[in-house]
Amino acid sequence: MLRLTLRNLVARKVRLVMSTLAIVLGIGFLAGVLTFSHGLGATFDNIIEGSTSDALVRTEGEVSFQASGAGTTKLVEPQVIERLRELPEVEAADGSVDGVGAYLLGEDGKLVGGTGAPTLVFNYYDSVNVAGDPILILESGQWPDQPGEINLDESSAERGGYEIGDEVTLLLPVGELRKTFELVGTSNFNGGGTAGATLALLETSEAQAVFLGGQDAYTTVALTAADGVSQTELADAAKTVLPDGFTAVTGQKVIDESDEQIGQFLDVIGYFLIAFAVIAIVVGAFIIFNTFSILVSQRVRESALLRALGASRRQVTWSVLVEAFFMALLGSTLGLLLGLGLSRGLAAVFRAQGLDIAGEVLVLTPTTVIAAYVVGIGITMIAAFVPARRAAKVAPVAALRDDLTVQEKALGRRRILLGTIALLVGAALMGAGLIGAPGADAAWIGAGAVIWVITVAVMAPVLGHPVLVACRAAFDKVFGTTGKLAGENALRNPRRTGATASALMIGLAVVSAVGVLAASLSATNDALVDREFRSDFLVQSPSFQGFPTKIGDEMEQVDGVGTISRMQGSVALVKEDQDFVMGVDRAFARIYELDMVRGTQDISGDQAILSESKAGDLDADVGTQVPVAFPGGQTVDLEVVGIFEDTPITGGVTMPISVLEDAGLRRNDSTLSINVAEGADVGEVQAALDKVVEDIPVVTVQDKEGFSELIKGQVNQLLFMIYGLLALAVIIAVIGIVNTLGLSVIERTREVGLLRAVGLSRRRLRLMITLESITIAVLGAVLGLVVGLLIGVALRQSLSDDLTELALPLSSLVVFLVIAVVFGVLAAIVPAVRASRMKVLDAIATE
């Protein structure tokens, strides 16, 4: 029996390849995603562990990881380092000057690494990490040991187009805006790569000059333990000599903090990608199910012969399942290899976004291999089980009969009933989500959506009937008999057509649901910008990071500028919880009139205004004192003087910018709002403002339209990424159509021969098959788009707090339908050519 099964596999190579392809692609995607996620985690783990010393002296405050971005001015004096060095537990103590908010410009004047990954500028010192290895390794040239020298990480130097000896330009957050250095060497974190971050190493006194205004001081101190001293002992010993406001933490704590911060971010990426892998695999399962259904129906005579020769039902079932097993084994193995390639592709995509993952960490882990085989074989066997059972039900006498195939039955009434009930249950779940059942609304709607998609997939033969009939009528009208034959062919086996279309439906349902959300998001943003963008111009960095105040200073000098308001954001602990607070200047009130619920918008001194929702969260009201702890450890009690309606104009906790300054934060601006003076030409002012930031690519001047476009661009970028990830599921579905058509053509060999004999030309035969393919694709697209539209609208409704506007991407839906038709045409090419090459006589003579 086994030998026969293997022979079967080998004998039908083309079929094997096509069916296996669905498994290969699905598993390939899964393996690729898992490998990529693992590589992503490993990259950061390596960097974090490779760049952390035994213990670290830093300012007090829990928010160390983000606080480094806020730019505290509290510094470690050199004497403190001397005292640390004298401790017996300390082998070495290296003062570090960490600069934040700097950017590296490439030779072409553009930002290196975009604005996604951070640019880390610090002084070079030869400290070692927790494992006792150097934190930094030199790749070429030398370390910076003179003012004016710089050492860049290898990848940034390459991306910036710099070679050793070149002049390198940095944009700095304080003092001089642009400063040039001589590149003396390149380096890397010992962990390998920088994950896309840009490293710029300066000589210590130069770093102090650039970031600390020339003070001989440091921002943190890296401690190396003496032999036999534990991290805890080292940190405890260090604490005894530190001045107030500073603390020492173990390297392990720093690693744990970083892991936690980055882990969340990486998990989001991982789950996001795995969701698409699951979609691809479900689509693949449909294809496998369909392929085996057709194979089994074509092999009725063979199965019957086996039964007649004494094979038991179980043996026939097993022969099909074993065939599926070997296909799955082959498919999963090839899928793993494909996955390795795909993970590199994903890495390349992320690299373009500024997240650099080294190729060495993209390896197949045992977990990935096991997961790929378990999922690949499991899904294939499950998908093949029903057809395998059907094969066993063939009566032995069928071997002697002439009619070759068992007609797959239309859906029974019971199934239609069950399907209808399932659709109602799905609708009820969605309804529950919409009227606010306990728990997350989106979870209810998601559950309903999954039930809907699966039910529609199973019921496609019934639900899709009107679509098929419409296609037949349309094709009959346009293409005459050929069109009618194609329409009839799609209708003759509704189950097969339905199952093939379902694979496409799943992908398109997600596409259109996501499309509705994205369109609604864009519409919401448009409305929001329309309502809230009240100044003539906004000056921001695309990543909403801070930029030097000098830019604002220069813009104040521009002719025609009337009012200019500055805002600075900072992380802080508000009532013990981490938050992002906003400092605004006096001019803020002249541009923005907030809708006050209570109290006043006017703030001065240690006062704050809260948004309505933030006030609720903090249980605060006008007159309440709210403690805010800033990076650097300073806590300020702010008096709440007003509550305003929620708005994206400013943060939930807004205070005078002086509060931030007094708390020891270095001044920079995160947003400038500019109104032109009366009578000034808006266009001219914009041109003049643009000129200020001409060679500072981190900062852009935007008017309302520009800002709107920027946000739309960001939404679209995400949307296209999702579409790109869904493309694989759609490709698998198209392979399914190729497969079904190919097998149908073989099954209908004699009919094709008859049609050719009575006068159907090759061209029209190809047209007939193409039209059948288009019918399947249109069916899948229509079902998918309609279901996705409903799901998208329901999801939007549940998110209506954030997505206040509902927009239907109708033109996109039409485009998807057209794309589906194009895919239908493409899917038909191979089967159509194969059918038209069949010799008429062979077709008729086939037994």
Partner 1 sequence: MTEQPTGGAPDGVAASAHDLVKVYGTEEAEVRALDGVTVDLMKGEFTAIMGPSGSGKSTLMHCLAALDTPTSGEAVVDGTSLGRLKDKALTNLRRDRIGFVFQAFNLVPTLTAKENILLPLDLAGKKPDPAWFDAVIDAIGLRPRLGHRPSEMSGGQQQRVACARALVSRPSIVFADEPTGNLDSTSSAEVLGFLRRSVDDFGQTVVMVTHDPVAASYSDRVLFLADGKVVDELREPHRDAILERMGALSDAATSKAG
Q: How many CB atoms lie within 10 A of CB 412?
A: 9
CB closer to partner 1, 179 vs 495: 495
Cβ nearer to partner 1, comparing 89 with 772: 772
Pick the stretch among 143-151, 598-606, 671-679, 838-846 that binds partner 1 (CB under 8 A).
838-846
CB of 837 to partner 1, least distance (A): 10
Q: What minimum distance in Å lies between the beta carbon of 823 and partner 1?
A: 24
Contact between 491 and partner 1 (CB under 8 A)?
A: yes
Residue 485 binds partner 1 (CB under 8 A): yes
For the bound state, the minimum distance from the C-beta of residue 520 to partner 1, rounded and expressed in Å, comes to 44
Q: Which residue bears the tokens 């296609």?
A: 471
Minimum distance, C-beta of residue 110 to partner 1, in the bound complex (Å): 59
x-or-dash pattern for partner 1, window 370-409, by CB under 8 A? Answer: --------------------------------x-------
Burial group, residue 378, by CB count within 10 angstroms (0-12, 13-18, 19+): middle
Alpha-helical regions (H) of 299-312: 300-308
- Closer CB to partner 1, residue 9 or residue 404? 404
Taking residues 756 to 775 in sequence order and writing x for each that binds partner 1 by CB under 8 A, - otherwise, the string is: xxxxxxxxx-----------
Q: How far is the CB of 761 from partner 1 (least distance, A)?
A: 4
- Measure CA of the first residue to CA of the last residue in the chain; give whole Å: 25
Angle, CA 819 vertex, CA 815 and CA 823 arms, to 5°: 170
Structure tokens at 50: 């490779």
Binding mask 148-187 for partner 1 (x = CB under 8 A): ----------------------------------------
Q: Name which position in 51, 59, 231, 489 contacts partner 1 (CB under 8 A).
A: 489
What are the angstrom distances between the C-alpha of 738 and each of 200, 776, 777? 53, 11, 11
**How far is C-alpha 459 from the geometric centre of its chain's CA atoms?**
32
Cβ nearer to partner 1, comparing 53 with 482: 482
Cα dist from 465 to 322, 408, 414, whole Å: 35, 16, 18
The answer to whether residues 517 and 308 touch, using CB atoms and an 8 Å cutoff, is no
Q: Which is nearer to partner 1, 146 or 481 (CB)?
A: 481
Q: Which residues contact 516 (CB under 8 A, 6 or more apart)?
A: 788, 789, 792, 793, 795, 796, 806, 807, 808, 809
Stretch that binds partner 1, among 186-194, 429-437, 676-684, 751-759 (CB under 8 A): 751-759
Nearest approach in angstroms of CB 337 to partner 1 is: 42
For partner 1, give the closer residue by CB, 412 or 759: 759
Place of tokens 């989001």: 268
| Beta bridge pairs of residue 93 | 223
From 225-233, 286-294, 749-757, 780-788, span contacting partner 1 (CB under 8 A) = 749-757
CB of 749 to partner 1, least distance (A): 10
Q: How far is the CB of 836 from partner 1 (least distance, A)?
A: 9
C-alpha–C-alpha distance, residues 734 and 507, integer Å: 11
CB of 23 to partner 1, least distance (A): 32
Is residue 198 within 8 Å of 116, Cβ to Cβ?
Answer: no
For partner 1, which is the closer residue by CB, 421 or 757? 757
Amino acid at 323: E
Binding segment toward partner 1, per CB under 8 A, in 13-21, 486-494, 603-611, 825-833: 486-494
Quick one: which of 592, 590, 623, 596 has its CA closest to 607? 623
Q: Hey, which residues does 224 pair with through a beta bridge? A: 92
The neighbouring-strand residues paired with 565 are 673
Angstrom distance (rounded) from CA 501 to CA 461: 9
How far apart are CB 744 and partner 1 at their closest, in Å? 12
Least distance to partner 1 from the beta carbon of 485, Å? 7
Give the residue with the Cβ less far from partner 1, 432 or 754: 754
Query: 196: which residues sit within 8 A by CB, 6+ positions away?
Result: 113, 116, 117, 155, 350, 351, 353, 354, 355, 356
Instruction: Select the span of 49-57, 292-300, 592-600, 839-847 touching partner 1 (CB under 8 A).
Output: 839-847
Q: 465, 598, 750, 834: which one contacts partner 1 (CB under 8 A)?
A: 750
Contacting partner 1 within 444-483 (CB under 8 A): 480-482
Of 799 and 844, the one with the shorter C-beta distance to partner 1 is 844
Q: Is 364 helix (H, G, I), strand (E, B) or coil?
A: coil
Among 92, 410, 754, 799, binds partner 1 (CB under 8 A): 754
Residue numbers 512-531 binding partner 1 by CB under 8 A: none
| Segment holding 26, helix H or strand E | helix 13-50
Residue pair 541/716 in contact (Cβ under 8 Å)? The answer is: no
Q: Which is nearer to partner 1, 161 or 480 (CB)?
A: 480
Binding mask 643-662 for partner 1 (x = CB under 8 A): --------------------
CA distance 326 to 318: 12
The Cα-based distances of 309 to 1, 298, 313 in angstroms read 12, 19, 12
Q: Rounded distance, CA 200 to CA 168, Å?
A: 10
Q: Over the Cα atoms of the chain, what is R_g?
A: 33
Site residues (CB under 8 A) for partner 1, limited to 573-612: none
435 binds partner 1 (CB under 8 A): no
Output the smallest distance, CB 343 to partner 1, in A: 47
Angle at 671 between CA 569 and CA 170, to 5 degrees: 90
Q: What are phi and psi of 759, to 5 degrees?
A: 120, 20
What's 839's DSSP letter? -
Name the residue among 404, 291, 395 with its Cα closest to residue 9. 291
Nearer to partner 1, 480 or 616 (CB): 480
CB of 755 to partner 1, least distance (A): 7
The interface with partner 1 within residues 104-133 (CB under 8 A) comprises none
Establish if 840 lies at the interface with partner 1 (CB under 8 A).
yes
What residues between 338 and 357 interact with partner 1 by CB under 8 A? Answer: none
- Window contacting partner 1 (CB under 8 A); options: 10-18, 166-174, 562-570, 748-756: 748-756
Rule CB under 8 A: is residue 495 a binding residue for partner 1? no
Shortest CB 467 distance to partner 1, Å? 17
- Minimum CB separation from partner 1 for residue 449, in Å? 36
Token duo for residue 437: 């059942």
CB of 300 to partner 1, least distance (A): 16
State in angstroms the smallest separation of the CB of 714 from partner 1.
51
* Torsion sign (Cα): 533, 537, 542, 547: negative
Q: How far apart are alpha carbons 843 and 762 in whole angstroms? A: 13
From candidates 98, 747, 751, 805, binder to partner 1 by CB under 8 A: 751
- 637 strand-pairing partners: 627
Nearest CA to 492 out of 152, 768, 141, 160 is that of 768
User: Residue 398 phi/psi, 5° resolution?
Assistant: -60, -25
The residue among 609 and 767 lying less far from partner 1, judged by its C-beta, is 767
Contact predicate 745/486, CB 8 Å:
no
* Cα dist from 684 to 252, 517, 518, 672, whole Å: 55, 38, 35, 18
Least distance in Å: CB of 757 to partner 1?
A: 5
Which of 182/408 has CB closer to partner 1? 408
Chain residues that interact with partner 1, rule: CB under 8 A? 402, 480-482, 484-485, 488-489, 491-492, 750-751, 754-764, 840-841, 844
